[in-house]
């Protein structure tokens, strides 16, 4: 159930995020700035509808979708993507494919373990992990 993800979460750990950003084409200046950010993520769920708001000093990114339905999103660094989120057991899976040639696809797995929300990120074998705790 997506209800597990509901609430406010603070980023506390980030592993290999720079390598992931480099893989998907984020430039040096944005990577340097993004590495220092501690976003707050707020998740709300209404039936099949999920809203994720990530707030940081860089920008606020709102990702809103129905489970199982593809939608267009723009990443924080401005890449245009098509994403589909599904629930597989307790895991929220996001498959992200680029709209524009040359951009890279990504696969994200989010799950809650105790008071932690874990986000595993992957693009063409380059993996990263972001860990949030309940605010």
Stretch that binds ligand DKA, among 42-50, 74-82, 83-91, 92-100 (CB under 6 A): 74-82
Contacts of 113 (CB under 8 A, 6+ apart): none
By CB under 6 A, tell whether 54 contacts ligand DKA: yes
Residue among 5, 50, 65, 75 that touches ligand DKA (CB under 6 A): 75
Nearest CB to ligand DKA, comparing residues 10 and 67: 10
Nearest CB to ligand DKA, comparing residues 26 and 112: 26
Nearest CB to ligand DKA, comparing residues 47 and 72: 72
* Interacting positions 12-41 with ligand DKA (CB under 6 A): 21, 26, 30, 34, 39
Nearest CB to ligand DKA, comparing residues 54 and 83: 54
How far, in Å, CA of 117 to CA of 126, rounded? 20
Contact 91, 111 (CB under 8 A): yes
Contact 95, 107 (CB under 8 A): yes
* Least CB distance to ligand DKA at residue 1 (A): 21
How far, in Å, CA of 103 to CA of 24, rounded? 7
Contacts of 130 (CB under 8 A, 6+ apart): 11, 13, 14, 15, 17, 118, 119, 121
What is the binding site for ligand DKA (CB under 6 A)? 21, 26, 30, 34, 39, 54, 75-77, 119, 130
């Amino acid at each position: 159930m997506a209800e597990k993800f509901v609430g406010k979460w603070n980023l506390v750990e980030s592993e290999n995020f720079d390598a992931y950003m480099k893989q998907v084409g984020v430039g040096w200046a944005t990577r340097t700035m993004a590495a220092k950010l501690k976003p707050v993520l707020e998740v709300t769920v209404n039936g099949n509808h999920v809203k994720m708001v990530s707030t940081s000093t860089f920008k606020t990114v709102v990702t809103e979708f129905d489970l199982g339905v593809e939608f267009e999103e723009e990443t924080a660094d401005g890449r245009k993507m098509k994403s589909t989120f599904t629930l597989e057991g307790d895991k929220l899976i996001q498959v992200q494919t680029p709209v524009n040639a040359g951009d890279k696809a990504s696969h994200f797995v989010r799950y809650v373990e105790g008071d932690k929300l874990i986000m595993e990120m992957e693009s063409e074998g380059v993996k990263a992990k972001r860990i949030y705790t309940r605010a």
